Structure 1
Amino acid sequence: MGFSGKYQLESHENFETFMKAIGLPDDEIEKGKEIKSISDIQQKGNDFNVTVTAGTKVIMYSFTVGEECELETFTGEKAKTVVHMDGNKLTVFLKGIESVTELHGDTISNTMTFNGIVYKRISKRIS
């Protein structure tokens, strides 16, 4: 099953601790706590186009699995990396953060780890 679809954040664990650890300012953390972001994912084979809307902030990025690309961190930094795919799992390392995104039916789980601190997000397909 492909990743294509729109997904809304349903729950997240350890948001505040993780965001502080990666250097997000306190005012941004406060704003982000209750936002139910929407991720619009379009997948064509190994090519992905992703638009994440969180309140008034919109982040768009594209990548091809296995090829170098530039992605943006939560703090707005851009860095080059390579996204890997194994079945229904996408893995990427960016600025010390390991991100693993898994698709399970209509649910996407995203687990990010930075210096031993784990942040988990669960999003459900809305279209």
Structure 2
Amino acid sequence: GLPDDQIQKGKDIKSVSEIVQDGKKFKVTVTTGTKVLHNEFTIGEECEMEMLTGEKVKAVVQLEGNKLIANLKGLKSVTELNGDTITNTLTMGDLTYKRISKRI
């Protein structure tokens, strides 16, 4: 795993996510420090998505209930909205990253 100081740095980083839905079309903007990540997609259609590393990959995002699910090069992303809480879970192999955000 990561050293404790690296884990703490990750916890200390402030990130703002904006999700705009228009029917089956979504626009997602994630701002972390000076890095801004923009992705647009339509549910069930192939799209190109930028990963946090800057790499662009093709993916199909599905909507299952209140969950947006995408598989990006072996990385499974599940974003779940419950009221004013967004839970994003990333899974790659036996590693799992979970981030919980509140609406502002």
Whether these two folds match at TM > 0.5 is yes
**Bigger RCO of structures 1 and 2 (CA < 8 A, at least 6 apart):** 1
Partner of 1:40: 18
Structure 1 position 119 matched with structure 2 position 97: yes
Give the alignment of 1:61-100 within 5 angstroms.
Answer: 61-100=39-78
Q: Aligned equivalents of 1:75 and 1:56: distance in 2?
A: 14
68-77 or 82-91: bigger deviation? 68-77
CA distance in 1, matches of 2:70, 2:14: 23
Equivalent position SS for 1:66? coil
For 1:8-51, what per-residue CA distance to the aligned partner results, in whole angstroms no more than 9, with x for missing partners? xxxxxxxx74xxxxxxxxx9x88644211000111011100111
Distance 2:28 2:67 in 1: 16
TM-score normalised over the length of structure 1? 0.73
Which amino acid is the alignment partner of residue 43 of structure 2?
V
CA distance in 1, matches of 2:58, 2:78: 17
- Percent identity of equivalent pairs: 61
Q: Relative to total residues, which structure has the larger strand share, 1 or 2?
A: 2
Distance 1:33 1:121 in 2: 9
* Unaligned stretches of 5+ residues in structure 2: none
- Structure 1: unaligned runs, 5 residues or longer: 1-15, 18-26
3-state DSSP of counterpart to 2:38 = strand
The two structures have a TM-score, normalised by structure 2, of 0.89
**1:10 aligned residue:** none
Task: Give the aligned CA root-mean-square deviation in angstroms.
Answer: 1.8
